[in-house]
């Protein structure tokens, strides 16, 4: 297409970050409204992408853009979207305005009249910069271009965690600041380590293409087409090594056990809106990249690694859920629950069935919405009491019934209650896994039982029982907070009852991915009888 819609969609939040940072120091409210306006403009462009996207169109990518960038090294500015990318771009564009609204006052306590530093402008500018980089990562079909933004998004996230972290805690300000700094550094080091290993694999990919094609390339479409034509072949050892380099970086970002330990620290020490940005937006780049790059670039290695990855996914599901049950901190409980949910997503991806991969993609979207709702309501709760400890609450539903009600619905979505959006995706993941790996699928269902335990126990301990003295005067949700939570709950209800708009977009992309891996759905073991015809009835007589 001639109009660069994909570039514009990512450029708007980047321009918004610059405009927000440039707002004069004294005009903090203007900076907030500037950031919100640019995030809403991005949402409009994402909606235009949805309208322009044709699920049944020929070819893997649509709305494509391709321009020469670094010719000597075969690097191109190449963008394109399939159904999976469009769904995740829409998720990102929907969530960021709610993140901004929810964090409306999060940087205010840092302001001083004599300060030349402008934390409010910086806070919202960094959020928009993260959004821009995530959108480019979802749109990039050049491996090198993807890698640049895959790594670059770590920098604004580092400052959001370390510089604007949660100030509700049981320790003094100095110790709390030290914990925020530790969480930010751990987040950065883990993800940089994964990125450096991926960089080695990216260079290896270029070397192989340069040797066999005569000119190195990073284009996903060129590489997959060359493999289909027989012009490009990977030696078994080479393909497996390259796959592991890519997968390791994505497993850190996802995060997958045992590379997950940075997430509870980061989400626990970040503000609730930034925690949403981490788990509902940034971490989705890891699971998305497994579908786009691991499976399509290295199909044989993906099948070779599937048994080990399924076991790691199963461990993530059960390990994350068990640790969530034992948590005393509300935000860390949600973080460990997310580790369990990412286990389901990766399980669906590597089940190598259309149901599993469709369910995994839906899970990315639905987990983003449900976790955003739960974490933001938890953030509103924590800001009122000034504590993240579950033991400091009790009887909240009697003094703040709307807050308690939204917390309950969000929690029920997290445990995948039928009628709410995550149920559909979790069901598809389990069905898709069970048809090919029945033992793994059967054990994974224990994650559902544990999810019900940690969500309902959390609600019981915080919202029911006698009213504690510290929460007796707790106010209910305000208009701004309702404007954040109500649309997310509405989405959970709508997609739980009617998921067809998402499945219609996602399924063709999943089928293309399955064809790239040369996998088909297993046939049922029980033979299906042919329908009885009128001729059969006459013959029986």
Cβ atoms of 390 and 329 within 8 Å: the answer is yes
- Which of 6-10, 222-226, 332-336 has the least mean pLDDT? 222-226
Backbone angles phi, psi at 389, to 5 degrees: -80, 130
Q: How far apart are CA 215 and CA 12, in angstroms?
A: 34
Write the DSSP string, 294-336.
IHHH-HHHHHHHHHHHHHHHHHHHHHHHHHHHT-SBHHHHHHH
CA angle, 233 then 235 then 236, to 5°? 120
Q: How far apart are CA 339 and CA 321, in angstroms?
A: 8
pLDDT in tens, 398-446: 999 999 999 999 999 999 899 999 999 999 999 999 998 999 999 999 9
Domain boundaries, the chain: 325-521
Q: What per-residue confidence (pLDDT) applies to 114? A: 45
Q: How far apart are CA 343 and CA 320, in angstroms?
A: 9
Q: How far apart are CA 387 and CA 376, in angstroms?
A: 15
pTM score, whole prediction: 0.90
Which residues lie closer than 8 Å to 530 by C-beta, 6 or more apart? none
pLDDT in tens, 309-319: 999 999 999 99
Asked if residue 255 has a cis previous peptide bond (ω within 30° of 0), the answer is yes
Q: How far apart are CA 317 and CA 448, in angstroms?
A: 9
- Could you identify the residue written with the tokens 């450029």? 11
With a cut of 60, say whether residue 58 has pLDDT above it: yes
With a cut of 70, say whether residue 541 has pLDDT above it: no
Label residue 118 by pLDDT band (50, 70, 90). low
Write a three-state SS string for 70-136: EHHHCEEEEEEECHHHHHHHHHHHHHHHHHHHHCCCCCHHHCCCCCCCCHHHHHHHHHHHHHHHHHH
With a cut of 80, say whether residue 108 has pLDDT above it: no
Question: Which token pair is 276?
Answer: 């949403």
């Amino acid at each position: 297409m001639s109009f660069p819609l994909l570039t514009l969609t990512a450029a708007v939040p980047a321009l918004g970050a610059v405009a927000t940072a440039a707002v004069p120091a004294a005009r903090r409210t203007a900076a907030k409204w500037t950031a919100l306006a640019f995030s809403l403009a991005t949402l409009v462009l994402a909606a235009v992408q949805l309208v322009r996207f044709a699920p049944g169109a020929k070819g893997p990518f649509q709305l494509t853009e391709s321009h020469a960038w670094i010719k000597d090294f075969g690097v191109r500015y190449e963008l394109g979207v399939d159904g999976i990318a469009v769904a995740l771009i829409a998720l990102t564009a929907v969530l960021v305005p709610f993140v901004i609204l929810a964090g409306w006052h999060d940087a205010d306590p840092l302001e001083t009249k004599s300060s030349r530093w402008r934390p409010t402008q910086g806070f919202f500018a960094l959020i928009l910069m993260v959004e821009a980089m995530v959108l480019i990562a979802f749109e990039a079909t050049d491996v090198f271009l993807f890698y640049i933004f895959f790594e670059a998004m770590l920098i604004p996230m580092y400052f959001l965690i370390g510089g604007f972290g949660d100030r509700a805690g049981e320790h003094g300000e100095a110790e709390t600041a030290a914990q925020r700094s530790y969480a930010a550094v751990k987040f950065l080091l883990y993800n940089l380590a994964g990125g450096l290993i991926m960089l080695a694999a990216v260079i290896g990919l270029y070397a192989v293409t340069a040797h066999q094609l005569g000119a190195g390339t990073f284009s996903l479409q060129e590489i997959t087409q060359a493999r289909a034509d027989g012009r490009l072949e990977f030696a078994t050892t080479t393909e497996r090594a390259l796959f592991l380099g890519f997968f390791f970086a994505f497993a850190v970002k996802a995060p997958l056990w045992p590379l997950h330990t940075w997430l509870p620290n980061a989400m626990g020490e970040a503000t609730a809106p930034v925690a949403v940005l981490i788990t509902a937006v940034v971490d989705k780049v890891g699971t998305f990249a497994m579908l786009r790059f691991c499976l399509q670039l290295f199909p044989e290695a993906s099948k070779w690694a599937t048994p080990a990855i399924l076991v790691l996914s199963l461990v993530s599901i059960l390990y994350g859920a068990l640790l969530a049950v034992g948590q005393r901190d509300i935000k860390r409980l949600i973080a460990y629950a997310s580790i369990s949910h990412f286990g389901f997503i990766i399980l669906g991806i590597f089940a190598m069935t259309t149901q599993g991969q469709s369910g995994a993609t839906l899970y990315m979207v639905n987990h983003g919405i449900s976790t955003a709702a739960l974490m933001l309501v938890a953030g509103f709760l924590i800001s009122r009491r000034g504590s993240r400890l579950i033991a400091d609450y009790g009887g909240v539903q009697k003094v703040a019934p709307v807050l308690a009600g939204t917390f309950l619905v969000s929690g029920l979505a997290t445990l995948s209650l039928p009628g709410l959006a995550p149920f559909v995706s979790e069901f598809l993941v389990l069905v898709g896994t069970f048809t090919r790996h029945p033992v793994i699928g059967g054990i994974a269902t224990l994650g559902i039982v544990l999810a019900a335990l940690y969500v309902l126990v959390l609600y019981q301990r915080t919202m029911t029982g006698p009213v504690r003295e510290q929460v007796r005067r707790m106010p209910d949700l305000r208009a701004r907070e309702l404007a954040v939570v109500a649309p997310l709950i509405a989405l959970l209800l709508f997609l739980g009852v009617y998921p067809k708009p998402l499945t219609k977009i996602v399924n063709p992309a999943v089928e293309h991915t399955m064809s790239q891996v040369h996998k088909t759905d297993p046939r049922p073991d029980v033979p299906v009888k042919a329908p009885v015809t009128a001729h059969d009835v006459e013959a029986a007589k």
